Amino acid sequence: MEPTQLIRNAFNSYTFRAFVIFILILILFIPQKMVTNLIGERTYRSITATSEITQSWGKSQQVDGPILCIPYVVPITNLQNKSIESETRYLYLLPEQLNVDGKINPQILYRKIYKAVVYSSTLNLTGSFDMTEATKNFPRECSRIIWEDASVQFSLSDYKGIKDILKINLGNNSYELKPDQSEFFGHAFVSKVNIAADAVLNFDMNFQLNGSDQIEFTPIGKQTKVAIASPWSTPSFYGSFLPENREVKDSSFKANWNVLYTNRQYGNILFEKPSGFNLDVLGVKFLFPINPYQSTQRAVDYAILIIGASFLVFFLFEVLRKKKIHAIQYLLVGISLCIFYTLLLSLSEHLGFNISYLIASLATIGLITSYSISVFKEKMPSFLMGLSLSCLYGYMYIMLQMEDYALLTGSIGMFIVMAVVMFLTRKINWYGNTANEN
């Protein structure tokens, strides 16, 4: 056989055509990357719009306190002139008991097509301070306790969310907490208080607080109990401590925490703010039921599998039905499969992910099935092509919903597909010449 004929036969073999299809799949990584960049851009715009909303309403909130700050005097020797001077230091007494009862009402605010979860809350803080604990723990070198300068301090992460004048009922007195510098928090709500050395002081606070996305509490009590109730169906509990009890329903949730001071990195008597103070927190995030950008990105992660499986189906029809399909026709089908993701992204910003997935997949399946009629010149292969695509998109949707089992489901699916392909192609002569096939 002449070399020219050998070359022609090689170019017309099934092996070469399979290699061309593989190259086309690699080329389609380019539009897939472009879709990924587009999702990143839209996600950034969403984050920017959300930030603009929360700047005005109130950011995520962290509730710290209340604590008692009691100054005391320590004599210090001045080594230069050998005189005795005094230095004021502080003892911080954390609550013996801290109970937090929170009613949180989330809502969705919009900025153009973007949205953010914000909330209004009513918080009730009750508990007690054991002053005898403070009295017993002042350092030996303490020469005087300045009871008249003792203060109660309370901190929030975003002051714009406060909707009430903050007050605390401590013992038999009521105090207004005002913004001020704090030796412990840096910036806090502070009030001087009238306290005794040998008393148990009960306290309570009630206030309304706006925030967004999440709320968290620092369990500063020797025993801290937190009870949260909210008409929101998709909470995410996080932090160093998870709820002891939780009840999540279709339209609401309740959660209860119980944290002891032995579970923390610091005790109940402090002389400075511990390094891990803001790390030992408990909280809840208010998630959207489905994040369209996250879900679309997960769908894009499966793009090559969908494109490869679709090309494989076309190639099997080409081999088994002996119908030649041009590389440009493969490329057009691949681009159509990539456009599915831009449709999904753009629609999900307005309609939600599930309905957008249905519309985008039906449109893509309809387009490729219609195009297959002109490629195969027969209705049955085109119908089977549409059925195959329906199965692929249906299977991908199932994997997207089964996040924890996506890898297992995908692995089983690929194994079954490969088994079917190997069975159907077991008798194919991959060195065969396709030049004379119609």
* Residue range 38-89, pLDDT digits in tens: 888 888 888 888 888 888 888 999 999 899 999 999 988 765 666 677 889 9
Listed residue (325, 431, 386) closest to 24, CA to CA: 325
- Alpha-carbon distance of 400 to 360, in angstroms, equals 15
- Considering the domain architecture, whether residues 303 and 386 belong to the same structural domain is answered as yes
Question: Residue 156 falls within a domain, yes or no?
Answer: yes
- Considering the domain architecture, whether residues 348 and 237 belong to the same structural domain is answered as no
- Considering the domain architecture, whether residues 279 and 384 belong to the same structural domain is answered as no
Q: Give the total number of structural domains in the chain.
A: 2
Local confidence band at 317 (pLDDT 50, 70, 90 cut-offs)? confident
Question: Residue 52 falls within a domain, yes or no?
Answer: no
- Considering the domain architecture, whether residues 193 and 297 belong to the same structural domain is answered as no
Q: Given 289, 317, 333, which residue is the final one in a domain?
A: 289
The pLDDT of residue 12 is above 70: no
pLDDT tens for 127-144 read: 999 988 888 888 888 888
Question: Residue 363 falls within a domain, yes or no?
Answer: yes
The pLDDT of residue 8 is above 70: no
Give residue 436's pLDDT.
46
pTM: 0.74
- The residue behind tokens 């029809």 is 317
Residue 259 φ then ψ, to 5° = -120, 130
Q: Given 256, 289, 322, which residue is the final one in a domain?
A: 289
The answer to whether residues 193 and 131 touch, using CB atoms and an 8 Å cutoff, is: no
Give the CATH number for residue 238. Answer: 2.60.40
Q: Given 289, 310, 334, which residue is the final one in a domain?
A: 289
The answer to whether residues 156 and 96 touch, using CB atoms and an 8 Å cutoff, is: no
Question: Residue 307 falls within a domain, yes or no?
Answer: yes
Q: b/e for 64-86, b at 16 or more Cβ within 10 A? A: bbbbbbbbbebeeeeeeeeeeee
The boundaries of the domain holding residue 146 are: 59-289
The answer to whether residues 396 and 402 touch, using CB atoms and an 8 Å cutoff, is: no
